[in-house]
Structure 1
Amino acid sequence: MSKFSERLTNLREGKGWSKTYVAKTIGLSSMQTYANWEYGRTEPDFENVSRLADLFNVTTDYLLGHKQPKNKITIQQAMDTIMSADGKEPTEHDRKIMESIIKAYLDNRE
């Protein structure tokens, strides 16, 4: 099994998603196409690698076998984590405040 196939399988299983769910979510008409990627029988084109990376919230480099950069998160990832912590939807005002704080924090870390 290739590093790509292994990571794809681990990411999907880690989310508790079915192959069918992933295939439909990235716009494939056949679950078998996706399954073949996990089994290492075929490989996706660049566009589908990008769709998979977006879906699993990882880089294309990671999917292709490179190490995931440490401590590199996007503002959106941080916002999603904060918002899911208490299960309440923040107001637009709260979102703007959180986004500015997170952006300032991330800018100062680089």
Structure 2
Amino acid sequence: MESFSERLIHLRHSNNLTRQQVRESLNINNVSTYNRWENGSRTPDNETIVRFANFFKVSPMYMLGISHLMNGDEFLLDVLENIELNGDPEGTRAKFALEEYRKEFTV
């Protein structure tokens, strides 16, 4: 399971951003605090994790390394592919997927 710091670094790199650009975009003035988040010696509070998630357009669960799915679109595609491969004659998988989607990706 990837840690918050690994996810943060990956998202920053995949968006071709510097540490300074991320900090400025999120109004994080303390350079050493941000650096500690990236090197894994500290984890931000929940509010800041949500700010990062919104900035990178991913779920907070992804930021924390709890979910392997970055956002709701990936979640739905994963479910649809699973239903296509395995079927869902009674609709139970679809119903479960909608419940999980609502829990993780809606406010």
Cα distance, 1:68 vs structure 2: 3.9
Paired AA for residue 17 in structure 1: L
Task: Provide runs of 4+ in structure 1 moved above 3 Å.
Answer: 68-71
1:56 matched to 2:56: yes
TM-score, normalising length: structure 2: 0.61
TM-score, normalising length: structure 1: 0.59
3-state DSSP of counterpart to 1:43: coil
Q: Is the 8 A contact 1:50 1:60 kept in 2?
A: yes
Query: For structure 2, which runs of at least 5 residues remain unmatched after alignment?
Result: 74-97, 99-107
Cα distance, 1:47 vs structure 2: 1.1
Residue 11 (structure 1) aligns with? 11
Map 1:1-110 → 2, pairs under 5 A:
3-69=3-69, 72-73=72-73
Equivalent-residue separation in structure 1 for 2:10 and 2:25 (angstroms): 17
Cα distance, 1:70 vs structure 2: 7.6
Equivalent-residue separation in structure 2 for 1:50 and 1:71 (angstroms): 13
3-state DSSP of counterpart to 1:66: coil
Equivalent-residue separation in structure 2 for 1:32 and 1:70 (angstroms): 27
Aligned length: 74
Query: For structure 1, which runs of at least 5 residues remain unmatched after alignment?
Result: 74-109
Percent identity between matched residues is 33
CA RMSD of aligned residues (A): 2.2
Cα distance, 1:71 vs structure 2: 7.5
Equivalent-residue separation in structure 2 for 1:72 and 1:43 (angstroms): 24
Q: 1:18 to 1:70 in 2, by over 3 A?
A: closer
Cα distance, 1:46 vs structure 2: 1.0
Paired AA for residue 51 in structure 2: R
Q: Is the 8 A contact 1:24 1:31 kept in 2?
A: no
